[in-house]
Amino acid sequence: MSLEVFDYMGAFDKRPTYAEIDLNALRHNLAIIREFVAPSKVMASIKANGYGHGLERTALCLQEAGIDSLGVAYIEEAIALRACGVTIPILVFGGLLKDQLELYIKHDVDVTASSVSKLEHIDATAARLGRRARVHLKIDTGLERIGVHHYSSDPFFEAALKAKHCDVVGVYSHFADADINNPELAKLQLERFLSALRYYEDRSPRPFLRHIANSAGIMTLKESHLDMVRPGLSLYGVYPGGGYESVLSIKPVLSLKSQVVYFKVVKRGAGVSYGHTWHAPEDVRVVTVPLGYGDGYLRALSNKGSAIIRGQRYPVVGRVCMDQLMVNIGQGEAYNGDEVIFIGKSGDERISVEDLASAIDTTPHEILVLLNQRIPRIYVG
């Protein structure tokens, strides 16, 4: 008796729920950012599955469009990029352990050195392998995450100057207020960074890249552009906060769509979904859609999210389930198979990532990166 092997992942290609990724919009955003920050270089932050857009396809598109380098969170992400054909520099932002160092060097991945001891381990590993390590030195100017404190960085820079098997290609820091709601804090961090750098600038035998600006820094603090910038949200057409729309004309890259799979009339007073957190105020039409928090559409969006069906915007009602949610279309019309847009545009109606983040008091980053692998990505452009 033979058993036919079922292509489980192939079935996901037929899911009614999917994320549409517009690569033309991605290229547009890169071009806009490059023009705005010139002559500074651009390192795209594509960690967390390319901010939910798909790691490999996003990286290859950006590489073809001429991006200078890429930034990821973990060495595993960098190795996946090398495996799919990415050849440009890749920096891993996160902290590292000694037993990971060979992977960095063997895959030609840039290492974040965040302490004297880690720098010494990098140098020793490179010497043992007979290779040179590409290193970015991390200076902590106020985030208190990883990196040497700006006020005690001179010994760190001395260790970098003594490392015989390391090429220091960059020195960087990171803003503690990602949205730059407090510009004075960002300016203070920039001052701390530049002050600490003077010691190394006076002694370095070769040029290196200074970088600190994220998307908000790019838009609000031009003096932070330095030699390279690291856009994340803005590259994907999402603004890091209010008031930035007039600075850069970027386009949303991701749309989240599904289809109606069930229609029913809910009687006045009847509760909908777990816990009956919403009751019909009158006899209404409610449709069910196969999207839930198991896909990354947050449970916090229960009774706060919305959807566009046939050009009309309607509220998500009741608790978002793991795999399904309900939309109240009132007295409107919808049929099984109708398109439902949760992020994106139809006619005059648009639901943005920023809208969802604002509705539940979180960041656009969280909305994007939690859209998980159960949602297939369809690439256009």
CA distance 188 to 186: 5
Cis, bond preceding 39 (omega within 30 deg of 0): yes
pLDDT value at residue 12: 56
pLDDT value at residue 3: 47
pLDDT value at residue 5: 46
pLDDT value at residue 4: 53
Q: Which residues of the chain, if any, have pLDDT below 70?
A: 1-13
Q: Return the residue matching tokens 């990821």.
A: 72
CA distance 200 to 154: 8
**77-91 exposure pattern, b = at least 16 Cβ within 10 A, e = fewer:** bbbbbeeeebeebbb
CA distance 194 to 189: 9
pLDDT value at residue 327: 98
Residues with a known catalytic role = 47, 274
The pTM is what?
0.94
Exposed, middle or buried: residue 64 (CB in 10 Å: 0-12, 13-18, 19+)? exposed
Give all domains of the chain, ordered by start, each with its CATH number: 23-236 (3.20.20.10), 254-351 (2.40.37.10)
* Residues in CB range of 317: below 8 A, 6 or more apart: 272, 273, 278, 286, 303, 326, 327, 328
